[in-house]
Amino acid sequence: MQQTENLNIESFAPMPTPEEVHARLPISEAAENSVLAGRRAIEAIIDRKDPRLFVVIGPCSIHDPVAGLDYARLLKVLADEVADTLLLVMRVYFEKPRTSTGWKGYINDPRMDDSFHIEEGMHRAREFLLAVNEISLPAATEALDPIAPQYLGDLIAWTAIGARTAESQTHREMSSGLSTPVGFKNGTDGSVDTAINAILSASKPHSFLGINSQGRSAVTRTRGNRYGHLVLRGGGDRPNYDTVSIALAEVALTKAKLPQNIVVDCSHANSYKKPELQPLVMHDVVNQIRLGNRSVVGLMVESFIESGNQQIPDDLTQLRYGCSVTDACVDWPTTEKMIREAHEILRGPLAARKAR
């Protein structure tokens, strides 16, 4: 018997290859068009060829695909209404980083009972992304597991790298090969240095171990991703969406010889994880743009059908419909109000951005 490896491994369970999952759930023409249109629009905003803002908005995490699609349909109607000013991209997060323990997300534990049917979670996650894109609503996600993009990456328009993983070499290398624009969040201490170094790293070619579509280990060689940008999410027990923080971030980006492209996350430390403060954060940032800010190209909002959040009960029939099981969200009426107010305020200022 081997005495030197796999000593703490209980078992290896077979997983369908990316190619097999794609074959079972192939991308449709409508979904492909939605993904490509979303990516090109976000790239145009980052390149300053499109004066609009993109807004990554939706539940903290997906746990109920029925409620998630109900939300997507509501968001699609609102997206069409404000499309001249704001590009709405649905937040579709399936993986949750954990400081210690807790539910790790829909891919890892789709049944929410610690059974960890990852093969089922991956299938259902792809099924959900297809449904969202087929209503012509682009999707955004956080890339946590470096293998998952092989299964789902063709259905994603924008990717986030979180505050906990922006410093990870694995995630920087992975980002250099992703097909989407990538937002790197500042560190949990509030510093932007980690994110800026990540943007620089991801912009360069890399070679690393990964898997190919047939599920075989492969040396992955990337071209580099020129659409990395900074996401301000607050940290160190303070927000960083104020004018001074944004001005300092602009200076840091310029010093690193990077474009001044900033996305402000209205949730997390910027709102002290209090959903009722998210509208105030958005209003403040929108007002900065009204007064002439040109570096903010996007916003992030945690929003669902119902406000707040809930614990996962032992009896899953007791779950409140359309309410987050991770971070607390603003409800749908608040979401509509936030987006419509931003739309009205920004019509003139964004048109002025285009004119310059």
Helices vs. strands in the chain: H and E counts, helices first: 10, 10
Q: Could you tell me the pLDDT band of residue 352, with boundaries at 50, 70 and 90?
A: confident
Helix, strand, coil content of the chain in percent (nearest 5): 40, 15, 45
Q: Is residue 70 part of a domain?
A: yes
Structure-block tokens of residue 117: 């049917």
In tens, the pLDDT along 307-342 reads 999 999 999 999 999 999 999 999 999 999 999 999
- Indicate if the pLDDT at residue 100 is higher than 60: yes
- Rounded CA-CA distance 86/301 in Å is 13
- Residue 77: count other Cβ atoms within 10 Å of its Cβ: 10
Give the model's pLDDT for residue 117: 95
| CATH code, 145 | 3.20.20.70
Give the model's pLDDT for residue 97: 80
Q: Is residue 3 part of a domain?
A: no
3-class state of residue 160 by DSSP: strand
Provide the residue type at 253 as one letter: L
Q: How many domains does the chain have?
A: 1
Give the model's pLDDT for residue 22: 98
Share of the chain above pLDDT 70, in %: 98
- Indicate if the pLDDT at residue 99 is higher than 70: no
- Rounded CA-CA distance 342/128 in Å is 29
pTM of the predicted protein model: 0.97
- Rounded CA-CA distance 282/325 in Å is 23
Say if residues 137 and 34 touch (Cβ distance below 8 Å): yes
User: Which has the closest alpha carbon to 166: 182, 181, 186, 180?
Assistant: 186
Give the model's pLDDT for residue 355: 59
DSSP 277: G
Q: Is residue 334 part of a domain?
A: yes
Q: Is residue 244 part of a domain?
A: yes
Give the model's pLDDT for residue 344: 97
Give the model's pLDDT for residue 1: 57
- Residue 129: count other Cβ atoms within 10 Å of its Cβ: 25
Q: Is residue 120 part of a domain?
A: yes
Question: Can you tell me the mean pLDDT for 242-271?
Answer: 98
Residue-number span of the structural domain to which 217 is assigned: 18-355
Structure-block tokens of residue 119: 């093969």
Q: Is residue 252 part of a domain?
A: yes
Q: Is residue 89 part of a domain?
A: yes
